[in-house]
A = this chain, B = another copy of it.
Amino acid sequence: MRELKFPQSESKRRLLEVAEQLFAEHGFQTVSIRDVTQLAKANVAAINYHFGSRNGLIALVVTLTITPVNEERIVRLDTLEKKWSGKAVPLEEVIEAFVRPLLSSARKTGLSEPLFRRLLGWIFSMPLETLPQAMEDQIRNASDRFSRAIAKSLPSVSAEDLAWRIHFVTGAMIHMLLHQEMLHQLSNGASGNPTMDALLGRFIRFAAAGLRDGAEPEPIEKKGPQATFNF
């Protein structure tokens, strides 16, 4: 009755692909496994068979999406710290090592770049403790390393100030990932990547300026005392 069957289930591959797409478009909460199986022309039970449960599917999608990003982040930061041989890395370069993988890691998945970025946005806005444990550790680890690198680049900024500013930058990043429709409403350039590169450049300058808080253009001398608030 059936045509041809593949060993190692090719419908599993299709399910994963469709799930990534739908989760990226609409977020994890609003997409049902029936949405996924319908679009993938598979049976509802297939999800529980292949991934154990809906949460198993989500965990896999999250892992596959986030792991390459974090790995590339670490590699880039390693490279930078080697390049500057223990000295503080210039702030902009640290930030770029943190955000550039948000674009370049897209290839390692079967997703278009805009959808991949959107998926990242959804993932980053989930409460950390709802992610698979391994991912939580991975993210915390990367965040720690980058926080320390940034602190080293901005020695005159107090730890508490810095924590908040990084918090703000994180929010800006997530918002950028989730709402890229603006790219097509605003940008003049038509082709996909050039404008996205430009956006990344904008973001890096924005983040660097906000982190420095207009104090120092570069960690040169001027180590002023820290005022708490000005209004």
Hey, which bits of chain A sit against chain B, CB under 8 A?
29-30, 92, 96, 160-161, 163-165, 167-176, 179, 182, 186-188, 197-210, 212-214, 217, 228-231
Contact = CB atoms under 8 A, between A and B. Distances in A.
A230 B30 CA distance: 39
Contacts of A163: 182, 186
Contact of A231 (B165, B172, B204): B204
Nearest to A121: B171
Contact of A168 (B30, B160, B201, B206): B206
Contacts of A172: 167-169, 171-172, 175, 210
Contacts of A96: 231
Nearest to A171: B175
A78 to B, nearest CB: 19
Contact of A167 (B179, B207, B217, B229): B179
Contacts of A30: 29
B198 A228 contact: yes
Nearest to A179: B167
Given A96-B231, A172-B169, A198-B229, A213 B203 contact: no
Contacts of A174: 171, 175
A89 to B, nearest CB: 14
A176 B171 contact: yes
B171 A173 contact: yes
A148 to B, nearest CB: 17
Per CB-CB distance, the 3 closest pairs between chain A and chain B, nearest first, are A171-B175, A201-B229, A210-B210
A217 to B, nearest CB: 7
Contacts of A161: 202
Contacts of A203: 164, 168
A197 B96 CA distance: 31
A208 B214 contact: yes
Given A169-B172, A202-B229, 19 more contacts: A160-B186, A160-B187, A161-B202, A164-B186, A164-B199, A165-B202, A167-B172, A167-B179, A168-B176, A168-B203, A168-B206, A171-B174, A200-B229, A200-B231, A205-B214, A208-B214, A209-B213, A210-B210, A214-B214
